[in-house]
């Protein structure tokens, strides 16, 4: 998106979740999988990256990825979903907070008013200036 390599998909949820933090954590793990796949694909073109920043807007998922504490709402997360935490610990990725106003992915997932929509179009590089 804009000047960044991006993978995006939408899929109907197949599992039951107890909390929104769990849903966001699993979703961030899927983003991590895609980012690491793209990192590996870029090696074929001679491009090597140290760590990949995962930009995320959910504080609970970010905190859980950095320190997967046992909590009543998170203790039932399946071990396979801790892929995000594992890669964060190994240094393959970094996780950075992005504010909702600056989250370019929102243009793909939320109905927006004209001003925020145009602002995100600028961020995508699809507009040069706002009329």
Sign of CA dihedral 48, 45, 123, 9: negative
What are the tokens at 46? 């001679």
Q: Where are the domains of the chain?
A: 20-98, 100-131
- Cβ atoms of 28 and 54 within 8 Å: the answer is yes
Beta-carbon contacts of residue 56 (< 8 Å; ≥ 6 apart): 24, 28, 31, 62, 95, 96, 97, 98
pLDDT tens for each residue of 79-119: 666 788 888 888 888 888 988 788 887 887 888 888 888 88
* β-pair partners for 96: 55
Sign of CA dihedral 32, 33, 37, 38: negative
What pTM, to 2 d.p., does this model score? 0.68
pLDDT tens for each residue of 14-71: 666 667 777 787 888 888 888 889 888 888 889 888 888 888 888 888 887 787 666 5
The dihedrals phi and psi of 86, each to the nearest 5 degrees, come to: -60, -45
């Amino acid at each position: 998106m804009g000047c960044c390599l991006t993978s995006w998909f939408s899929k109907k949820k197949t599992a039951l979740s107890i909390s929104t933090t769990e849903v966001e954590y699993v979703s961030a793990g899927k983003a991590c999988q895609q980012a690491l796949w793209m990192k590996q694909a870029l090696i074929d073109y001679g491009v090597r990256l140290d760590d990949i920043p995962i930009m995320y807007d959910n504080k609970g998922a970010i905190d859980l990825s950095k320190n997967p504490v046992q909590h009543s709402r998170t203790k039932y997360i399946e071990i396979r979903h801790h892929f995000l935490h594992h890669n964060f610990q190994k240094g393959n990725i970094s996780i950075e907070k992005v504010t909702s106003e600056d989250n370019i992915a929102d243009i793909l997932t939320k109905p927006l008013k004209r001003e925020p929509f145009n602002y995100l179009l600028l961020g995508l590089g699809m507009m040069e200036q706002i009329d």
